Amino acid sequence: MTALPRSARWASWFNAWLGGFAPIDDATAAVRGADAAHDVTGLADDILPLEQAWAALRKRGATAAALALPVPGDPAGLAGPPMFNEAALDTAEAVVVVGAGVGFVPSVVGRGVFWSTYDAQAPRPSTSVADAERALREQLVETGRVLAELDVARWRPEIADTLSDLRATRDGVLPPGFDQRAQRVSALAVRCWRICDLALADDGGALGVGDGAARRRTTLELQRAARHAVVAACSSFEPGTTLGER
């Protein structure tokens, strides 16, 4: 992963828009990114463009959006009901709109994206951004140590390059309105996720069975910490307040 998942863009930019930090046209354009179009099904009788769907959600009482990045055994950001959880697990991502009682799961069709609407419960308070950052940095140190011991950089030099970039890059990936810690941890998490993608790309490569298992284990732990950090950063909200009041 080299950028935020679609659901992370929806959650963060929806919060920025609700908080008054971004106009709706800019916010929805950021969610679409390079996709041709984003449309919402099931929220109204007709399929709605993203802008109309967001306006409808605000009328329904939306106070914030929360991100879910679940995987089997780790339903990060999900609180039910089962139908929504299953759909979110199938795609490994979803958005919950707090105050409106609905959630959205994306599906890619050609160059466009359709967001299917489900009944959804507001998630329980997630790990704080500070705790998520601490866990991510601790796991990054451990993963770096294991990969160094396995001499992974010798046959996957791009991993060493990405690890080096972590020290040099501080650009945020969240929209305006999020505090510096959320910006910092989300940017770090995206780059850690990139390390995981590279380290898992050949699932063993030149390593022996034991070393390959060690690499996979520590990489999956880093990936988990990165997912939880992105969820915490994008979902750092308090219902009923704006981002500037948090």
Q: Whole-model pTM? A: 0.86
Instruction: Identify whether residues 24 and 74 lie together within a single domain.
Output: yes
CATH number at residue 216: 1.20.120
Domain count, the chain: 2
Residues whose CB falls within 8 Å of the CB of residue 175, separated by 6 or more in sequence, listed in order = 12, 13, 15, 16, 21, 22, 27, 30
Question: How confident is residue 159, by pLDDT bands cut at 50, 70 and 90?
Answer: low
pLDDT digits (tens, 9 = 90+) for 88-136: 999 999 999 999 999 999 999 999 999 999 999 998 877 899 999 999 9
Instruction: Identify whether residues 78 and 55 lie together within a single domain.
Output: yes
Question: How confident is residue 166, by pLDDT bands cut at 50, 70 and 90?
Answer: low
Task: Choose one of 79, 99, 124: the last residue of a domain.
Answer: 124
Torsion of CA 25, 67, 57, 55, to 10 degrees: 0
Q: Is residue 76 part of a domain?
A: yes
Q: Is residue 225 part of a domain?
A: yes
Strand ranges, E, within 53-159: 64-68, 94-98, 102-109, 112-119
Q: Is residue 201 part of a domain?
A: yes
Instruction: Identify whether residues 92 and 181 lie together within a single domain.
Output: no
Instruction: Identify whether residues 98 and 119 lie together within a single domain.
Output: yes
Task: Choose one of 77, 102, 124: the last residue of a domain.
Answer: 124
Instruction: Identify whether residues 110 and 137 lie together within a single domain.
Output: no
Instruction: Identify whether residues 115 and 138 lie together within a single domain.
Output: no
Task: Choose one of 124, 154, 177: the last residue of a domain.
Answer: 124
Instruction: Identify whether residues 217 and 139 lie together within a single domain.
Output: yes
Q: Is residue 144 part of a domain?
A: yes
Reading the block at residue 112, the tokens are: 């466009």
Domain holding 52, by residue range, is: 6-124
pLDDT digits (tens, 9 = 90+) for 4-63: 999 999 999 999 999 999 999 999 999 999 999 999 999 999 999 999 999 999 999 999
Q: Is residue 244 part of a domain?
A: no
CA 187 to chain centre: 11
Instruction: Identify whether residues 95 and 63 lie together within a single domain.
Output: yes
